[in-house]
Amino acid sequence: QVQLVQSGTEVKKPGSSVKVSCKPSGGTFSSYTICWVRQAPGQGLEWMGGINPIFDTADYAQKFQGRVTITADKSTSTVYMELSSLRSEDTAVYYCARGMSGDRRDGFDIWGQGTMVTVSS
Amino acid sequence: EIVLTQSPGTLSLSPGERATLSCRASQSVSSNYLAWYQQKPGQAPRLLIHGASSRATGIPDRFSGTGSGTDFTLTISRLEPEDFAVYYCQQYGSSFGPGTKVEIK
């Protein structure tokens, strides 16, 4: 069973950027879309955007347009999510997740373990 | 952008009881691409239902999803101790509802 392995905990200053990685263990992404979802402490889930690593096509939630960039490195089968101009409200657990049927429309069947990002001066 | 609302916010039930969770969309959900997830504290969400009514791999048949258009329901026929958690709906692989917490009464 494929698992998604994310990079570790980050602590960042307001105004800086963070880049979180997501890589499948024991396999490649193949043609599955990978999305990013975040969850602030005690809050609900928020979809940020996603990418199809094979076609390198990304789309983003309107809320994060211009501040988030999702990229894929096919040589290492790694997907990255970079969030810029960080503010305290960006403190959250960031998850990567795989689109169940290749694209994201039908939900996410495999999730990473989550990466805690804390934004604090 | 489609906005999802879930009700109730919290559901207090006893093991063995039936749970009925509602998810309503501000516009019709395209091709019924509506998914349900379960999340327990400290864990990533787990996909329960996709396509409004299809159980994901390994999900017990006490979980069922119904609905179409703008109104969807997740039913847990008989609550097991491990079912007490927060449940989220999601449309078209993007926006999520605010969640329903199912707690032990």
Q: Give the pLDDT score at A102.
A: 79
Dihedral Cα B10, A93, A40, A67, nearest 10 deg = -140
Q: Give the pLDDT score at A55.
A: 86
Q: Give the pLDDT score at A81.
A: 98
Single out the residue of A53, A48, A69, A60 nearest to residue A102, CA to CA.
Answer: A53
Spatial CB neighbours of A93, under 8 Å, sequence gap ≥ 6: A38, A39, A114, A115, A116, A117
Q: In B, which residues are within 8 Å of A101 by CB distance?
A: 50
Q: Give the pLDDT score at A101.
A: 81
Predicted confidence band at A100 (pLDDT cuts at 50, 70, 90)? confident
Single out the residue of B23, B20, B11 nearest to residue B104, CA to CA.
Answer: B11
Which residues, in sequence order, are bridge partners of residue B91? Answer: B34
Predicted confidence band at A95 (pLDDT cuts at 50, 70, 90)? very high
Q: Give the pLDDT score at B31.
A: 85
- Residues A74-88 have pLDDT tens digits of 888 899 999 999 999
Per residue, the 3-state secondary structure of B22-63, as one string, reads EEEECCCCHHHCEEEEEECCCCCCEEEEECCCEECCCCCCCE
Q: Give the pLDDT score at B65.
A: 98
Q: How far is A50 from chain B (nearest CA, A)?
A: 9
DSSP assignments along B59-101, one per residue: --TTEEEEEETTEEEEEESS--GGG-SEEEEEETTS-B---EE
- Whether the upstream peptide bond of residue B45 has omega within 30° of 0, thus cis, is no
Q: Give the pLDDT score at A30.
A: 75
Predicted confidence band at A119 (pLDDT cuts at 50, 70, 90)? very high
What residue ranges of chain B have pLDDT lower than 50?
A: none
- Residues A7-64 have pLDDT tens digits of 999 999 999 999 999 999 876 777 889 999 999 999 999 999 999 988 888 999 999 9
Q: In B, which residues are within 8 Å of A4 by CB distance?
A: none
Single out the residue of A91, A101, A96 nearest to residue A121, CA to CA.
Answer: A91
B42 in contact with A, Cβ within 8 Å:
no
Q: Give the pLDDT score at B2.
A: 94
Q: How far is B51 from chain A (nearest CA, A)?
A: 6
Task: Say if CB B34 and CB B54 are below 8 A apart.
Answer: no
Q: Give the pLDDT score at B92.
A: 93
Nearest by CB to residue B88, choosing from A45, A50, A109, is A45
